Structure formats: structure tokens, C-alpha cells
Amino acid sequence: MHIALIDDQAATRKATTKLIQQLSQPSQPLQVAAYASAEQFLFAERTPDLLLLDIKLGSGMDGMTLAKRIRQHDPDTAIAFVSNYDEFVFDGYDVNAIDYIIKPLTKEKLQHLIDKTAARTQPKLLPLQTPSGLTRVPLYDISAIEVTNHQLQVHTQKTTYTVSGQLKDFLPHLDDNFIQIYRSIVINLNFLSQLDHHTVAMADGTTYPVSRQQAPVVKQAFFKHFRGLTDDSD
């Protein structure tokens, strides 16, 4: 696994590099490249499996801007923010970050990130029987599933698949990132950006209604998911 580390503090780069080297094993070799700035990383033109990214990076491009720039052409690289500041955690949803960890980065937290990244390389797939044939869609790419005109609309980051079937038959194939917010709607919490009493807003701006019965459940799941981005409790 190739890991890129971007931090403007030399001591932090050295300490994190040492942690990565300690966790490298013959069964899971880890290679690390450390950069002092976003510009230095972009100049290197390397695509890591995991990008450890600080938010504030001196006088150059900040970490969140870099992440958004990367996502314009790369939806798959695992990005994890490692920061002293927690006020940017919601922005992590916009770039589909796998985690947002408050410094210091410990060996346990780093192993957690490595395991998450490794799991993404073998993603769970949802089989969909579309008019053009069988398609298997990674769960992490699905933002929502809704029933429209007696058919299922499976929304991903790039397209929407229309398939036959009942929503209840698809629920057992989804993971803990998904929650049913309405009788006919399931969303992926990774793409949820805003929640109020009656609606949710997704990262792409799409809004969905929340049933009165599910509203407290969705709120609890949202904040549990939010805390999962700020600590290593999973």
C-alpha cells in the first residue's frame, strides 16, 4: 500500500513516517512518501492508496482545497484528515473522506486507517439487474436508493440506475452507512451534508423528506456517524 503524507511540520512528518514503517509487514507492505506542502505533492504527480492530509499547510494551498481538487478527477483515493482542528469535519463529507482524526496520530489510529483503506480495495458490491445487463455497484459509491413509479432509482456519484424490485429486498445487502429515512428512501450517511426536522440534504444538493417516525433515528445515526469521523471509536 502506498501512503502519502502531507504536513508542513517536519517533526510530524518524521514521527508519522516512523509509525508507518513500524506497521509495515510482509503480508501488508507499506510505502510512504512525505511532503511539506500541497504543491509539493501535486508536483510529484503520484496517486497513493491512502492520503494523510493536514488541514492547515502554511502559506500555500490548504488541505481541504487540495482534497477538493483531487476529487475533481479522482473519486477513489482514500483521504483521511489528520488535524488539530475539528471545525472542518463537516467539510470532510464533501470530499468523501474516510476519517477525520484529531492529532496526535497514534499507531492504533493509523492501523485503523490502513484497515479502512484495505477494505476499500475490496469493496462490497450491490448487484443490479439493469436493462443492459447485470451491474455490480460498490456500496461506497451509492448516495441514495429511492422508489419512483414502482421502480428503484439507485443514485451513485456519476449516474442513476433504474432497476426492478422492492426496496426491502435490497436492505439486507447494504452496510451500516445506510439508513432508511422514509418508507421509500434509503440514504448513505457518507453523503449526508445537512439535516433538519423534515428533510435531509445530500452533498450534491439533492434533498429528501424524512418521515416523522424516522426523524429521531436519522438524527441519532447522523451524529454517531459524525463522531466516527472525529475519533477512533469504531
Cα(78)–Cα(96) distance, rounded to whole angstroms? 8
Are 172 and 147 members of one domain? yes
pLDDT at 193: 85
Q: In the predicted model, what is the mean pLDDT of the chain?
A: 87
Q: Are 143 and 191 spatial neighbours (Cβ–Cβ below 8 Å)?
A: yes
Same domain, 86 and 155: no
State residue 228's pLDDT score.
52
pLDDT per position as a tens digit, 117-140: 887 766 788 999 888 889 999 888
pLDDT value of position 121: 66
pLDDT digits (tens, 9 = 90+) for 203-217: 889 999 999 989 899
Q: What is the total count of domains within the chain?
A: 2
SS3 assignment, position 167: helix
| pLDDT band per the 50, 70, 90 thresholds, residue 91 | low
Share of the chain above pLDDT 90, in %: 49
* Structural domain that includes position 13: 2-120
Domain assignment present for 228: no
Burial (CB count within 10 angstroms: exposed 0-12, middle 13-18, buried 19+), residue 127: exposed
At 94-113, the pLDDT tens digits run: 788 888 888 889 999 999 99
pLDDT exceeds cutoff 90 at 51: yes
Spatial distance between the Cα atoms of 25 and 125, rounded to a whole number of angstroms = 28
Are residues 44 and 113 both part of a single domain? yes
- The answer as to whether 174 is a domain residue is yes
Looking at residue 205, which CATH number applies to its domain? Answer: 2.40.50.1020
